[in-house]
Every structure is written in structure tokens, then in C-alpha cells.
Amino acid sequence: MDERKLDRLDSYLAEGDLSAVWFARPNGFAWLTGGDNRVDRAAEVGVAAAGYDGDGVTVVTDDIEGPRLAAEELPDPVAVETYPWHERSLAEAVADRSPDPAAADFPVPGFDDVDASGLRQPLTSDDVRRYRRLGTETAAAVEAVCRDAAREDTERAVAARLRGSLAERGIDAPVALVGGAERAGRYRHFTPKDVRLGDYALVSVTTTRGGLFASCTRTVAFDPPSWLRERHRSAARVEATALAATRAVGRRGGDAGAVFDAVRHAYAEEGYPEEWRSHHQGGAAGFAGREWIATPDSPDPVRIPMAYAWNPTVHGAKSEDTVLVREGGYETLTRTDDWPTRRVGAVDYDETFERPDVLER
């Protein structure tokens, strides 16, 4: 088990005068144990709960799932306790076994609610090591699908190939957006339709594996509109500004609202002062697609080291990667070094970034 995470939980228990804390939502369960408690991918709560009582981690699940989880999903130090599947619910089983008082990230009668997102930040070195692999494999799948795409392909066909490629890598894609020329400029969330790509396409994903989430967008053009490169460059500059501001704000212990101020100013400097209103701009990533999304008045603390996925759009163009922001610099996690890039400068920061460019086919 990751001792740094257990230290956070010790502090959480002490501050709340609690005896135990439990995680059954898939991202919380994965954060604590490294395992996957999902069977139904659409369910908000998994089939097992992981609890910490200050001495160790215990997993409670039914007798259907116990042997599989112990053999395939959980590290050796984790004890697994089972109950007959037909006798009670997971919440009832946890309530029966847990010391009092306790908290949980899913509804358990008599338990407090836990803000799991706060516990998951910042990332640990073990998290980052797994994140690098997820990010690289996510970007590789997206880029390969883009390179193989043709203007006659439909959005749905491209999305299906992308989901299949990710699935072969053991990666789920809760978000897989493909917008061709007809729809990418009309909508910010271009859920795939039976429409041909046409002159160009935006391909955006948020993927997950092992509880971690990675997001990225790539642009492929067959006969690019005259405005595409200029708008793409502007979106990339806004993203670069968001990253530079994240590091600066995180180093001084500021909040997400301060980063949003820099994002809004960057849009104005690029000649698109109202563009931020058309789409959320992203925020912190990690054990959720977004641990928080920045707004003009966001009080969420900006922590480092932490992953951030900023996703500015400029009317038909978008720039997005998942980037680890550290005290000393940046590491793009969704990167393969096999895609065209361009260097752009952050607005009002003396920093430049290599951002993905438009791939022309």
C-alpha cells in the first residue's frame, strides 16, 4: 500500500474524529487499492468497498466477487471479507463490519460523507508512474486512428475504431467525441453521428484505467478551412497560458479562479474575448475526468504535483492534453513524440510549450 495515501487517511480520521473511512466508488477504490471493483461499467458504486481504520485496509464484497478480487485485483496485504450475495447489500455489510464513527464515499446509513477528491490530490509518485503509461497509450490510440481516418469515414466509424483500439489496451473511454467539419464548428461536445468527416475532424477522448483518467484532443485535416490553423494556434496559446498559470498559482497556494482569470485574459489577447463562455475550460485531472472544473469564482485549491487537462476551444478548433504540473516544470502525459507539434508562448508568462498541431493528410 502507498504509505503517503495512508498518511493522508490517518490525518483525515484524526481531523474528523472518525474510526474508519470507506471507498466503493470505482475511482476511490482504485486510488486506495490499485484494483478495479467494477462489473457494471455504468454503475456509480462498485461491487466492493475498501475501508481503512488506521491499522490496515479491508475490502468487503459479496461471495460472488471475493475470490476474483483477491486473486486478480488486490495486493497481498489487503484482507477480503465476504458476505452471502443474497442476504444483504454492500452498504449493510460495510455498516455491520465497520467501527464507529465512520465515513464513506457512497450512501451508508449513519456514516458521514467523505470528500474523496480532496484526499486524491496531489498525485503520488506511484500514481504518476501508472499515469505515464495510460497517457502514452491513450495518445497512441487517438493518433493512430486519426492517421488512418479518411474524409469519407463517418464520425461513428472513427469513434468505434478508437474505442476498440483503447479496449485492446485495457482502457475504457467514457468520453469519445468525433466531430467532422459539419459539426465540430457548431458544437463543443460533438457526440459521434452517422455523418462523414469531410474537410477535417476533431477527435477528443477521456480515458480511464486503474482509476486514473487521461484526456486529449487531436485534429486531422484533409482539406483544412482557411481559418483552422489560426484558430488552432489561438486555442493552443490559451492552453499554454492555463498551464503556466497553473504552475504559478499552485506554487503560491492559490485557487482555480486565479487560473481562470489568466485563461479569460488569454482569450481576449487572442481576439476572442467571449469565447470562454461557449465551453468549460477544464481543470485538475487524476482519479476523475476532472477533479474540478475551473470557473470564474472557483475556490478549489491548485495543487502540485498534479495532472491538469485544460481544453480551450475557438469556434471549430480545440487544444487539449493531460499535463503533469510540478514545482519545477511540466510533463505532457498524453504524448507519443509521433505527432506534429508547434511551439507557442503563454500570454503574460515567459514560457513556451510544444503543443499538438493540425495533422494534414
Residue-level pLDDT, tens digit, the chain, 361 residues: 899 999 999 999 999 999 999 999 999 999 999 999 999 999 999 999 999 999 999 999 999 999 999 999 999 889 999 999 999 999 999 999 999 999 999 999 999 999 899 999 999 999 999 999 999 999 999 999 999 999 999 999 999 999 999 999 999 999 999 999 999 999 999 999 999 999 999 999 999 999 999 999 999 999 999 999 999 999 999 999 999 999 999 999 999 999 999 999 999 999 999 999 999 999 999 999 999 999 999 999 999 999 999 999 999 999 999 999 999 999 999 999 999 999 999 999 999 999 999 999 9
236, 294: one domain: yes
Domain end residue (candidates: 69, 95, 119): 119
C-alpha cell at 338: 509521433
Domain count, the chain: 2
93, 47: one domain: yes
97, 162: one domain: no
* The pLDDT value given to residue 168: 97
200, 341: one domain: yes
- Please tell me the distance from the alpha carbon of residue 240 to that of residue 330, in angstroms, as a whole number: 11
Domain end residue (candidates: 97, 119, 141): 119
91, 151: one domain: no
114, 131: one domain: no
Q: Which CATH number fits the domain that encloses residue 22? A: 3.40.350.10
114, 129: one domain: no
Torsion angle, CA of 107/112/117/121, rounded to 10 degrees? -140
Domain end residue (candidates: 101, 119, 137): 119
147, 68: one domain: no
Which domain, by its residues, includes 43? Answer: 3-119
269, 347: one domain: yes
